[in-house]
Amino acid sequence: MSYLFTSESVSEGHPDKVADQISDALLDEFLRFDPNSKVACETLVTTGLTVCSGEVLTDGYVDLHKVVRKTIKEIGYTKNEYRFEGESCGIISTLHEQSADINRGVVRSDPENQGAGDQGMMFGYATRDMRNLMPMPIELAHILLQELSAIRKEGKEMTYLRPDAKSQVTIEYDDNNHPVRIDTIVISTQHDDFADKSLPEKEGDEKMRLAIENDIRNILLPRVIATLPDNIQKLFDGNFKLHVNPTGKFVIGGPHGDTGLTGRKIIVDTYGGKGAHGGGAFSGKDPSKVDRSAAYAARHIAKNLVAAGVADEVLVQLAYAIGIAEPVGVYVNTYGTSKIADASGNPVTDGVIAEKISKLFDLRPYSIINRFGLRNPIYTPTASYGHFGRDPRFEEVEVYYNNGETYDRTEDGIVKHFKKVKLFAWEETDYVEKIRAAFGI
């Protein structure tokens, strides 16, 4: 019997995502000064106020107010009527030095034996739903809001849009776990109040809501569908249910409408509820925290296993003890979709797959960090629309140190240092051939 599965996403203007982006922008700024910075930065945003707290150990100095204000303005909170905007909001910082007790477990005289920054378990997941091997519900939920944000920033259509928004997508799957149709789409978007004041309030609000729904149906959805491959476009059969601003009005939003906190959208950040989650958030944490770096490594393993043809769906769990370099456990679940057999033709168990993976991938924090270039300022782009399923790409970033990996350029008479870094490197399928060789595929 078919079943329904739902995932949600939130825009960069959602208060929790505002907090995530500030935390990661601060982390990036510390890494521009000192790539070995140890950072655990938490942010709270509410009406007219941003509070930054946490622990930092670094050789650099960051102008926190400048970074916070720049981030808020880039998101789109630039008007006083939002009751939270980059130029005027209050900023409080209680950042302090990292605990020496934690530091002694992480830092080693031999950097290759760097210990995990905390205990815990991290999960990675991949499935054949989409070309990027992400689950379809969360991927479509992200795409809807990314396109809505693009419309807002273009400023040509739907000019009433404000930064805060949420989406939700429900997919119908068949008995073989293949997506067969879109069942329901929910879009809630913050907007200016353009209700006709000559009408009774409820009537004016409903007329305004219907205008937004019409634009979602006739502007946003066609733009989104046009970006999708043919097999996904066919799932929009015209019979799906569409709910737009179901409460009727969404003028009050962002941090004024709801307090935002770093790390409160961990399912949005990952797989939309598919697979599993270890409970650790990502934003504001330097890569010595395996909550973040090992979750990236687990996704990399899962994606490469599916891309290599080992299985159609894979969940990978990594587990660590604080201060210990090697993981205490590696677990693989292929949900019965494994396609490989041993020399005798017997199915290869998930336990054997996990054992081979442990030998193929160096899962010490030091190696994970180096493999993905995680000491670089690459994190702000991860803080909205998910950490996974994104296209890996090279980007030039400015840093405030000079070594063999940097190059100089003079701008306005000032010599600046730049570095070429890779964003979303954990999305590469660079281990496919190694995996195929290991399993004889």
Is 15-107 a CATH 3.40.1190.20 domain? no
Lowest average pLDDT, out of 97-101, 201-205, 218-222, goes to 97-101
The pLDDT score that the predictor gives to residue 105 is 54
Q: In this structure, are residues 291 and 282 in contact, taking their beta carbons and an 8 Å threshold?
A: yes
Architecture of domain 120-126+264-439: 2-Layer Sandwich (3.30)
Instruction: Establish whether 29 is an annotated binding residue.
Output: no
Instruction: Establish whether 183 is an annotated binding residue.
Output: no
Is the pLDDT at 174 greater than 60, yes or no? yes
Mean pLDDT, all residues of the chain: 94
Fold assignment, 3-9+135-253: GMP Synthetase; Chain A, domain 3 (3.30.300)
Is the pLDDT at 429 greater than 60, yes or no? yes
Instruction: Establish whether 146 is an annotated binding residue.
Output: no
Domain-by-domain residue ranges, the chain?
3-9+135-253, 15-107, 120-126+264-439
Q: Indicate the pTM of the whole model.
A: 0.95
Q: In this structure, are residues 129 and 143 in contact, taking their beta carbons and an 8 Å threshold?
A: no
Top-confidence residue, 409 or 113:
409
Would you say the C-alpha torsion 330, 331, 337, 341 has a positive or negative sign?
A: positive
Instruction: Establish whether 154 is an annotated binding residue.
Output: no
Instruction: Establish whether 258 is an annotated binding residue.
Output: yes
Tokens of 381: 């782009």
Alpha carbon separation from 336 to 298, 314, 414 (Å, rounded): 19, 9, 59
Is the pLDDT at 405 greater than 70, yes or no? yes
**pLDDT tens-place string over residues 319-339:** 999 989 999 999 999 999 999
Tell me, what amino acid is at 3?
Y
Instruction: Establish whether 164 is an annotated binding residue.
Output: yes
Please state, for a pLDDT cut of 70, what percent of the chain lies above it: 96
What distance in Å separates the CA atoms of residue 358 and residue 297, rounded to the nearest whole number?
A: 12
Name the strands in the sheet holding 49-57, side by side, starting at the edge strand that comes first in the sequence: 90-97, 49-57, 38-46, 260-261
Number of CB atoms found within 10 A of residue 359's CB: 9
Alpha carbon separation from 207 to 172, 186, 196, 197, 245 (Å, rounded): 31, 18, 8, 11, 12
Alpha carbon 283 to chain centroid, angstroms = 9
Confidence of residue 99 (pLDDT cuts 50, 70, 90): low
**pLDDT tens-place string over residues 376-398:** 999 999 999 999 999 999 999 99
Please state, for a pLDDT cut of 90, what percent of the chain lies above it: 88
Provide the β-strand partners of residue 398: 418
Instruction: Establish whether 249 is an annotated binding residue.
Output: yes
Residue labelled with tokens 């106020």: 49
Can you give the three-state secondary structure of 379-401, one letter per residue? CHHHHCCCCCCCCCEEEEEEECC
Provide the β-strand partners of residue 177: none
Is the pLDDT at 87 greater than 80, yes or no? yes
Tell me, what amino acid is at 39?
V
Number of CB atoms found within 10 A of residue 210's CB: 12
Instruction: Establish whether 434 is an annotated binding residue.
Output: no
Is the pLDDT at 150 greater than 90, yes or no? yes
Mean pLDDT, range 187-194, rounded to an integer: 98
Instruction: Establish whether 285 is an annotated binding residue.
Output: yes
Terminal CA-to-CA distance of the chain, rounded, Å? Answer: 33
The pLDDT score that the predictor gives to residue 367 is 97
The pLDDT score that the predictor gives to residue 172 is 96
What distance in Å separates the CA atoms of residue 24 and residue 269, rounded to the nearest whole number?
A: 13
Is the pLDDT at 46 greater than 90, yes or no? yes
Length reported for the chain: 441
Instruction: Establish whether 223 is an annotated binding residue.
Output: no
Coil vs helix vs strand at 278: coil
Question: Packing angle between helix 365-372 and helix 290-307, nearest 10 degrees?
Answer: 70
Instruction: Establish whether 55 is an annotated binding residue.
Output: yes
Tell me, what amino acid is at 201?
E
Instruction: Establish whether 289 is an annotated binding residue.
Output: yes
Is the pLDDT at 113 greater than 90, yes or no? no
